[in-house]
Amino acid sequence: MIAQGEEPFQAILATVAALGPAEDFLLVSPFLPSPLIERLHAEGFTARPERAGDGSWRTRFSRE
């Protein structure tokens, strides 16, 4: 979405809202999504970011 010039924030929030209690969400982004990590942490999610070999970030969100 970012590469296409779209703002992904609302789509991410909608995806996270639809998660079941045992489901998690993997976000692939060109940068560390620090503001999103903070926002979802406030909503009870844990984030596990990892830097990929191509320079992108893969951040897995799950409920605490």
* pLDDT value at residue 48: 97
CA–CA dist 46, 64 (Å, integer): 6
* pLDDT value at residue 2: 66
- pTM equals 0.84
Name residue 14's amino acid. A
Is the pLDDT score of 4 beyond 80?
A: no
Is the pLDDT score of 16 beyond 80?
A: yes
Based on the number of CB atoms within 10 Å of its own CB, is 25 exposed (0-12), middle (13-18) or buried (19 or more)?
A: middle
- pLDDT (tens digit per residue) in 21-60: 889 999 999 999 999 999 999 999 999 999 999 999 999 9
